Chain A
Amino acid sequence: MSSQYDLRSPDGESLTVVLVDDSALFRQGLAGLLFAAGLQVVAELGNVDALPAVMARLQPNVVLMDVRMPPTHTDEGIAAAQMLRDQFPKVGVLVLSTYAEAEWARRLLANGASGLGYLLKDRVDDVPTLIAAIRRVSAGGTAIDPEIVAHLLRRSTQQPSAMDRLSPRELETLALMAEGLSNTGIGAQLYLSSRTVEAHIASIFDKLPLQHRDTATNRRVLAVLAYLHERESQDPQDSAPQTLRRGATEE
């Protein structure tokens, strides 16, 4: 069954996963799904209190974590993800949230993108995307939900900017870069050869004043996201949709 996806860890074992979510019902459903998909769910937690101990004992490959959890139900997951990043740098952390909050994504990646991901919970219905994201973060890569990238792109293209000079294909490539896909991944998504993808990426780097002309996927994600965020925050008429505002107005 699990042959559909490559779910092995770097040492060839099946990936081990810890689930942290205060909704027992969702945890149960997700655990069932991951188990069926061939992952090993080694622990399920209702909050982040016991997480460091569990991490030290079980040493999982990936932690899947909700954002709003007890005690304050605000952004416990983001803070916990940063804590894991510091203390367990080799463990991939995929944050699963009900909302596509660009602000949470920005804070999550504030100190680097490697091994971090932010995905909408809706992706439980999109098993390939979910599994691919889990795999990417476990391998030290980055996974940003297409919803967030699309949102940032939409906002960025609404105003005159250097983005106007990108061709539609280049825009698609930029979005996938922001989601954290490698050149190969982008090529697979767009049905393009890696050479064509590389040409698009070179063209994007020529047209946009991105901070790093870095080809390493993780830093490239950061550069693109930072650029898109910056474009967004320049928007004079702030008509940010609810999901964006909430991150800024609620503590």
Chain B
Amino acid sequence: MTALARRDRLDSKAIVLGVLIVAAKVVVTLPQLRTDLALVAITWVVVISFVVVGVALLSTEDIADANGWNCLVVAAATLPGDLNNAHFPPSVAAVGFVLEPTYLAAAVALVLRYPRARLNRRGRFITAGLVITSVVWRIPLVFFAGDLPSPFHDATVLPNVEAAPWWFDWVWLRAGYLGTIMLLIGAAGLLVIRAVTSRGLIRTSLAPLAIVGAVCALSAAADNLIWVLGIPGPQFEPIALIRNFSAAAIPVALLGDLIRRRGASAAISSHVLQAARSGDVLSLEGALRDVLLDRTLTVRPTSDLTPQSPAAGDKGGPRRSVTVTSAYARTPLVVIEFDVRSVTDEALLRTVLAAVQVGLDNTQLTQELLQRMTELEASRARIVQAGAQERRKVERDLHDGAQQQFLAVAATLAKSDFVSDQELRDVVQNARVGLSDALAELRQLARGIHPAALSQGGLSAALPYLCDQSPLHITLHIDDSVRGRSIAPAVETAMYFIAAESLANAARHAPDSEVVINLTSDQARVNIEISDHGRGGARFAEHGGLVGLRDRAEALDGELDVHSDPCPEHPDDAGSRVSASFPIDGRTV
């Protein structure tokens, strides 16, 4: 995916540029910086950005709602810290002091959870640990003060406060803060490990959040370490600045990921769709490798069942395979196999698979359509050709048959110019015989074009007549369900000629066999089957009568099948079976 790769390069340039701009800004504004004001301003920015991103996450379907709510919780959790100063009554300030670290737990929960709805076991452990070591462990700090400087702004204003025992600093201040530090380092480690062990799109997507989150957690840990060491002072304020800055960057990283996902989804949709439409498995594989950034991903048709080894040079993590099934035909299309670590995001996977499905379905439908069109064109051409051939045959039958017979009669009658009255009788007698022969010939021909019985009495009347004319021994069954049914005339004609052609074939290949004709119908269709036990010569020969009849059947949305025994399934049988089925009204049901 060249488009996405190019965007990555642009991103990194812009990032470098943006960092330079910010650094320059910081350097230039340092002389006029008033730390407390800056810290307050930054917390505003943090709160605003968490609220905005939280709302943005809640308004998207790509990311679980828990992440959006978590953003709002982080924004709200920054409030207690602001109560911890002399502007508020001591009791309020005390509550604020105790609850101040909740923002840490909330922020860690957010970055560890994102983009899933639930925290995993380690995430829950770290979050709960942070609540205990930072929030619960702070409660004694409100009431007692030890030798170390207290983070509570003024522990002495509370009543009944006496000097804490010697172990107070160790148990409550140092132990609690150290626990918090360890958990923060753990959280940073988890983030980094997660980003490093993931693959493909997920890795590039998680990297900014991992970096920002790790920086934030580590700077918060360093900030805590100052209290453990008991050396607070304005010289360490830059650490708090870094912590707050990186906290402000968390929503930006989330937003960036969201935009990236959106872009990736759109790109995936169009790119994968395009590749899938090509119908070429290799180009689809290339496209999927591009968009999921997993070079070990494989795509193969479901017909190819050999398990494939992942590409060489990769350590090869656990693999997962997904079968894409046609949406309209419900048949498997391809199997996609990939590194589990590259796609941990089910929404993204669904997008990809949907694009693959749509693209492949599209290709398959197009191909089927083209194939059907080619078949239709061929069949239409054959029908036209068969029509012309039929007309030529009729002309020739007329020319060779009745026309010559009538001309012979004319010649016979012309003899009357030269014969005596006695001979005239013979001339006329000969002419009468010739005429009646010619008429019989015409009648036969007319029946071949369209049997009169068919127009007058339908198939039920024409078939017995057809059987009577045949030299074969025929058993004709006409189901009661057919009699009295109104069948489309075109269907009746097609079925009549299928029977006629089959009988002609049987006369050639099974002259001594009994022929059985079965005419049945159900709700929507009428069926005919003509079977014999002869040598089984019936088949679709090129330019043969059965091919023409099949075209005719298909033009009426009917089907014509020919079966010849012996075949692999009926090695002991012999004979031919021609069966046809039509919609009763001749139209598509």
Contacts and interface: CB of A to CB of B under 8 A. Distances in A.
Given A25-B434, A33-B412, A124 B418 contact: no
B411 A23 contact: no
Contacts of B434: 25, 29
Interface string A120-157: 01101101000000000000000000000000000000
B439 interface: no
A189 interface: no
14 contacts: A4-B418, A22-B400, A25-B404, A26-B405, A26-B407, A26-B408, A26-B411, A29-B410, A36-B418, A68-B399, A98-B399, A122-B410, A127-B414, A127-B417
A196 to B, nearest CB: 31
Contacts of B520: none
Nearest to B405: A25
A41 interface: no
B408 A37 contact: no
B432 interface: no
B335 interface: no
Nearest to A1: B418
Interface string B381-406: 00000000000000010011001110
Interface in A7-53: 22-23, 25-26, 28-30, 32-33, 36-38
Interface of B: 396, 399-400, 403-405, 407-415, 417-419, 434
B419 A98 contact: no
A122 B407 CA distance: 7
A3 to B, nearest CB: 10
B416 to A, nearest CB: 9
A57 interface: no
A37 B418 contact: yes
A99 B434 CA distance: 21
Nearest to B417: A127
Nearest to A22: B400
- Of the candidates A22, A26, A73, A98, the one having the most CB atoms from chain B within 10 angstroms of its own CB is A26
A22 B417 CA distance: 26
B419 A125 contact: no
Interface string A90-106: 00000000100000000
Interface in A148-201: none
A73 B414 CA distance: 27
B404 A33 contact: no
Nearest to B438: A25
B433 to A, nearest CB: 11
A30 B412 CA distance: 7
Contacts of A121: 407
Nearest to B437: A25
B412 A29 contact: yes
A125 B414 contact: yes
A28 B405 CA distance: 10
Nearest to A68: B399
Contacts of B411: 26, 29-30, 32-33, 124-125
Given A68-B399, A124-B410, A125-B410, A36 B415 contact: yes
Contacts of B417: 4, 36-37, 127
Contacts of A1: 418
A69 to B, nearest CB: 10
B437 to A, nearest CB: 8
A234 B414 CA distance: 40
Contact of A33 (B396, B399, B415): B415
Contact of A28 (B396, B408, B419): B408
Contacts of B412: 29, 32-33
A33 B413 CA distance: 8
Contact of B414 (A2, A23, A25, A124): A124
A125 B413 contact: yes
A22 B403 CA distance: 13
B128 to A, nearest CB: 95
A20 to B, nearest CB: 14
A125 B410 CA distance: 5
Contacts of B419: 36
Contacts of A26: 404-405, 407-408, 411
B23 to A, nearest CB: 89
Q: 4 shortest A-B CB distances, which residue pairs?
A: A29-B408, A29-B411, A23-B404, A36-B418
